[in-house]
Amino acid sequence: MGVALARSAQWTAAGYETGTLEITPLNESILNEITKFVESFSYKYPQEAKFVFVEPLEWKTYLEPSAFESGYIISATTVESEEADKDGQPLLFLSVPYIKVRSFGQLSQLLSIATDSKLQEAQACIEANRDPVVKILGPDYNEMKEDLTSLTLLDKDKEMYLKRKVAILLKQLDLHLLNHSLKHISLEISLNPGTFKKDIELLKRFSGKGEQTVLESIEYTSDYEFSNGCRAPPWRQIQGEICYVLVKPHDVETLCLTCSTEGVFLNGGKTKEEGEINYERKGEIYKDLVTCLKDKSPVFSENMSKQEVRFTEEQQKENQIYEKPKTEDGHSSIAGSEKSKLERINFGKSHMTKRLEPSLNWRATVDYKDHKSSAKDSQEEKQGKLEKSSSSVSPSRAQLLRKGGEKVEDTASESSSESEEDEEPPDHRQEANADLPSEYWQIQKLVKYLKPCCFLISMFCLLLPRWLTLSNFLTASSVERSYLIHIFIYKGGNQTATVIALCSMRDFNLAQETCQLAIRDVGGLEVLINLLDTDEVKCKIGSLKILKEISHNPQIRRNIVDLGGLPIMVNILDSPHKSLKCLSAETIANVAKFKRARRAVRQHGGITKLVALLDCGQNSTEPTQPSLYETRDVEVARCGALALWSCSKSHSNKEAIRKAGGIPLLARLLKTSHENMLIPVVGTLQECASEENYRAAIKAERIIENLVKNLNSENEQLQEHCAMAIYQCAEDEETRDLVRLHGGLKPLASLLNNTDNKERLAAVTGAIWKCSISKENVIKFREYKAIETLVGLLTDQPEEVLVNVVGALGECCQEYENRVLVRKCGGIQPLVNLLVGINQALLVNVTKAVGACALEPESMAIIDRLDGVRLLWSLLKNPHPDVKASAAWALCPCIENAKDAGEMVRSFVGGLELVVNLLKSDNKEVLASVCAAITNIAKDQENLAVITDHGVVPLLSKLANTNNDKLRRHLAEAISRCCMWGRNRVAFGEHKAVAPLVRYLKSNDTNVHRATAQALYQLSEDADNCITMHENGAVKLLLDMVGSPDQDLQEAAAGCISNIRRLALATEKARYN
């Protein structure tokens, strides 16, 4: 269901993660299928209907408690199901307006209760639970789904058995939805300007004043035709609209119709005043003009039926006129594309026997998947492609390829931060007419010599068991006997010749692209991969050494994956020969630079085997005889760590490394003194530290101490990766303390002075930024003169460095001494200069830093002089919510500490209206920051009057029903300030803001209590507000706060109670008088 919702359902522009379902026929069809599935679930699968979801599905329901009947415990605002789980928790719980459901049985009953609104409920549920399958089955669903076919009676655990059955049912539903969507889409029309032009011209021929004509007239609303054939304005073409026509039937008024790619519909017609078209749709969508007019005009329908044969003949003639030129023009290109596609697919079959011309175009050769294999490709298509390519490889490798093709590629499990690297642009270089160096032709000769050698060795391995006896030899066919005799005579020579050819190839500069081209163009990759399938260790080593060198090329590594090389390399990791393990792991490290390769390594069990290499010193078994190809254990572990480093860019692979026990082994290797070993180990830890589970394990394994120790290394790459690992881990306060306790802050500060290596500088500044979140660390950085150095790095540095530098200064400037230090070092001007950038992360950090500096009056004066406040205000228009929020927070101290702040704020044209309009945002952080800014703006009476005119009161009132304590606090403060103008107190009461504010007093946050009490105190100046407070139980809550140690809270609570009491006394007095 998750795949169908992500790929088939149509979401709004915000996207699948944050948008809502569009109102389209396809979505309605998908929702209908889901509701049918859920409604019938209880009686089709009664046992599975009792399965309790791992997490409840929660959404905002349209149902009222009164809709529920038997089987539920019902109150005024809540409903609980009598059916409960083993812990006694109800499987359905409704607290108006939110509902939680924890089984398919309850979902089924809920839909039967919903009756007419079941589609609305289904839509609300799906929009609120973007990945419902994970909530139903739990986060381990990704592991389970690879083994759903293994459901047997061996599952003794009834709960696990049910869970697997539910998983299978959901997978079947997912496939059904995808197929259903495909059928629906295939039936949908996709009209174009040519279609409409043709139909309108035909209808014009059949129109006129006579009784037999189908229409009186039909004409376009616009005579201008764009180059794409459309007549609609460009801003309407974006909506899929093509043209607008005015149709005058014989029996009804003139119709103004919109012709779009989706179909034809009636619009609002032309306005009388300006003659402009009202584009809004006024009815249903029809598949074409004729169908629409038949429905709107009975006379048209009648006359059209009389003219049907003639109209159809004319339409067919038009089709031939329109389509024939296109067919003739497009035929050759289509045929050519099909031919090239077949050539790419059949290249694996043909290139072993056919002489190929040299080509410098990477795209023209064996990589038939380079047009980017999609997860939407069907399993059959994938398997068909794999079988085609495997026809030229050994039988065992073909079997491996088929096994790989049977697995569904779980692209959704890959890290969202990964790119396809990972997607290099195609080379646009000349082909055969380019001058090629002599090495190109020499390598091709060697590869062509390798092919028969490779073939003979493979045949010997395949045929040898058949002739273990003389009788078998005598009964063999003449062809088989000749092969065997040839192999027995020349086997030793061919193996030797193969090794010599491989060594000769290694004499060339394989890092040079021309040499890589030569190997690939003549089919050398398949030969090299086939050699990995032999039993000859020397041949395997020679092949792997070449593959290791040439796999640095992005296109070569893709070809290796497409030819099924990775499963064979993964199998070689089990070899008893350490040299083979090393070479295989290093080659995997080079190849696994893109998502598909990393997934292939995991799916073929490579992660577990690579983790085992980290401990190979204790577990590996060497051959009994000493070998020339033995390698030290430390080298095996290094190569394993190198491969894990490449694989660890995937979220699923990180989890697989952790489950395979990789963290303790990496921690142990971190204590070694071999720098070549340390770099991939720290690199792997740095990649994995982005996961919270890893950060906890890193603390538990005491890895931070070794990372700090290696910061003092002379190796710049090792320093960089250690700093980056600290940057990832220092999100946690305990880790920041450990870095300080183990003496890591001083080497970080000293590394700031070496600015030549920008990658290392970015890592070091990042580590300092995260460590600066702790005040104790900031004190140390001040002792080590790091703040002055950071200020010096605010200019002439790449953005990667600037983001971290400014972030660190933003944290350091929370302390007064550091703000003064930044100002004295001349840091204010470069910070303000960075406010004009476009990098989102940099803008978030620089606004925070400027805001922190503005807390000091002298710094604020410099910011004002440099026009920094105006730049901050302009960032409120930035499209990114984080930038808006950060800018609004920064404006608060600027307004608070500026001289004549009221006049300064009014000087920004449209500034106050912009701030008020931001209260319409959906982002909680933006709302909280804008409320804080309004609190400061409203301190000036003139500004308060202006924002009141802009409608600040209703907008603030609309936000009152929030559960976010941060927003509550600043909203209450803003309301408190805005009450001090005109009749705003009364207006807040009229807009229902008082009752929600009373509920804020039940929060656990003292800051919320103080702000709310102050707001209620101001609101209590109005008698109606006092009544509302009293009715909602404010007095009792405020009485408890009168005894608070917070003096401001005491005074506000007491003042509010006083106002309520005075009103009560006045009312009582009036009653008796």
Q: Rounded to the nearest 10 degrees, how much is the dihedral formed by the CA atoms of 735, 737, 738, 739?
A: 90
860 falls in which pLDDT band (50, 70, 90)?
very high
Q: Has residue 850 got a pLDDT over 90?
A: yes
Evaluate whether 414 touches 652 at the Cβ level (below 8 Å).
yes
pLDDT for residue 527? 79
Residue 258, strand partner residues: 244, 265
Give residues with Cβ within 8 angstroms of 326, minimum separation 6. Answer: none
Taking 80 as the threshold, does the pLDDT of residue 548 lie above it? yes
| pLDDT at position 379 | 39
Q: At what angle do helices 118-128 and 25-39 cross, to 10 degrees?
A: 100
**pLDDT confidence of residue 392:** 36
| Contacts (Cβ under 8 Å, ≥6 apart) of 309 | none
Of the pLDDT bands very low, low, confident and very high (cuts 50, 70, 90), residue 483 is very low
- Six-digit token string for 736: 């920041």
Q: What is the Cα–Cα distance from 646 to 996, expressed in whole angstroms? A: 53
Q: Give residue 382's pLDDT.
A: 37
**What is the per-residue pLDDT across 889-923, written as a single tens digit (0 to 9) for each?**
999 999 988 888 888 888 888 889 999 999 999 99
Query: Structure tokens of 790?
Result: 């950071």
**Cα separation, 172 vs 180, whole angstroms:** 12
Residues 6+ apart with CB under 8 A from 847: 835, 872, 875, 883, 886, 887, 889, 890
Amino acid making up residue 882: D
Q: Which amino acid is at 613?
A: L
pLDDT score at 10: 67
Distance CA 753, CA 749 (A): 8
Query: What torsion do the CA atoms of 555, 557, 562, 565 make, to the nearest 10 degrees?
Result: 160
Q: How many CB atoms lie within 10 A of CB 445?
A: 13
- 388-404 pLDDT, tens digit per residue, is 333 333 333 333 333 33
Q: What pLDDT, on the 0 to 100 scale, is given for residue 63? A: 87
Q: What is the pLDDT of residue 74?
A: 87
Residues composing the chain: 1073
| The token pair that represents 896 in the structure block | 């608070």
The helix, strand and coil proportions of the chain, stated in percent and rounded to the nearest 5, come to 65, 5, 30
Structure confidence by residue, pLDDT tens digits, 974-1003: 999 999 988 898 999 999 999 999 999 988
**pLDDT confidence band for 427 (50 / 70 / 90):** very low
Residue 5 has a pLDDT of 65
Which sign does the torsion angle of CA 325, 328, 334, 336 carry?
Answer: negative
Mean pLDDT of 859-863: 92
**Distance of alpha carbon 660 from alpha carbon 518, whole angstroms:** 40
Segment of 173-187, 265-279, 762-776 carrying the highest mean pLDDT: 762-776
What residues are paired with 93 via a beta bridge?
80, 100
pLDDT value at 148 more than 50 = no
From first CA to last CA, the distance across the chain in angstroms is: 71
* Whole-number Å distance between alpha carbons of 497 and 927: 75
Q: Residue 245: enclosing H or E segment and its boundaries?
A: strand 241-248
Instruction: Give dist(CA 333, CA 788) in Å, integer.
Output: 65
Per the model's pLDDT, the better-predicted residue between 683 and 629 turns out to be 683
Range 26-45 average pLDDT: 85
Euclidean distance between CA atoms 1018 and 975, whole angstroms: 9
pLDDT (tens digit per residue) in 918-959:
999 999 999 999 999 999 999 999 999 999 999 999 999 999
Confidence band for 336, pLDDT divided at 50, 70 and 90: very low
Beta carbons of 1007 and 972 less than 8 angstroms apart: no
**Other CB atoms within 10 Å distance of the CB of residue 617:** 12
Which pLDDT does position 944 carry in this prediction? 92
The percent of residues above 70 in pLDDT, for the chain, comes to 75
pLDDT at 466: 41
For residues 899 and 864, give the distance between their C-alpha atoms in angstroms, rounded to a whole number: 9
**Helix, strand, or coil (residue 702):** coil
**pLDDT at 9 > cutoff 80:** no
CA 404 – CA 409 distance, rounded (Å): 9
- Whether the CB-CB separation of 1019 and 1000 falls below 8 Å is answered with no
Question: CA-based angle 780:782:786, to the nearest 5?
Answer: 100
pLDDT score of 388? 35
**Which of 65-74, 348-357, 755-764 is least confident?**
348-357
Sorted by sequence, the CB contacts under 8 Å of residue 852 that are 6+ apart come out as 810, 813, 814, 819, 893
Whether this prediction's pTM lies above 0.85 is answered by no
Per-residue pLDDT tens over the stretch 281-299: 888 888 888 889 988 898 8
Task: Classify each residue of 27-45 as buried b or exposed e, where b means 16 or more C-beta atoms within 10 Å of its C-beta.
Answer: bebbbebbbebbbebbeeb
Q: Span 421-447, mean pLDDT? A: 50
* Cβ-based burial of 303 (10 A; exposed 0-12, middle 13-18, buried ≥19): buried
What per-residue confidence (pLDDT) applies to 117?
Answer: 84
Would you state the pLDDT for residue 610? 92
Note the pLDDT of residue 308: 65
Say whether pLDDT at 693 is over 60: yes
So what's the pLDDT on residue 618?
A: 43
Q: Cβ distance 1054 to 1042 under 8 Å? A: yes
State residue 927's pLDDT score: 94
Q: What is the DSSP secondary structure assignment for residue 256, as one 8-state letter?
A: E
Of residues 629, 703, 633, the one with CA closest to residue 663: 703
Rounded to an integer, what distance in angstroms lies between the CA atom of residue 160 and that of residue 489?
60
**pLDDT of residue 217 exceeding 80:** yes
Residue 507's contacts (CB-CB under 8 Å, 6 or more residues apart) are none
pLDDT value for 186: 54
Who's near 984: CB < 8 A, 6+ residues apart?
948, 953, 978
Q: Give residue for tokens 């020349």.
A: 490
Could you tell me the CA-to-CA distances from 605 to 403, 608, 609, 612, 637 in Å, in that order? 13, 6, 7, 11, 18
Say whether pLDDT at 628 is over 60. no
- What is the tens place of the pLDDT at every residue in 435-463? 566 655 665 555 654 544 444 444 444 44
pLDDT of residue 4: 62
Question: Would you give the DSSP letter of residue 569?
Answer: H
Give CB contacts under 8 A, 24+ apart, made by 844-848. Answer: 844/882, 844/883, 844/886, 845/803, 845/806, 845/807, 845/810, 845/886, 846/806, 846/810, 847/872, 847/875, 847/883, 847/886, 847/887, 847/889, 847/890, 848/807, 848/810, 848/886, 848/889, 848/890
Rounded to an integer, the average pLDDT of 98-114 is 89
pLDDT attached to residue 343: 37
Q: Nearest to residue 958, comparing CAs of 1001, 929, 934, 987? A: 987
Please list, in sequence order, all residues whose beta carbon lies within 8 angstroms of the beta carbon of residue 372, skipping any fewer than 6 positions away: 420, 423
Q: What's the rounded Cα separation, in Å, for the pair 787 and 822?
A: 7
Find tokens 């807009």 and name the residue.
991
Say whether pLDDT at 479 is over 50.
Answer: no
Tally of CB atoms within 10 A around 631: 17
The whole-number average pLDDT for the span 111-134 is 85
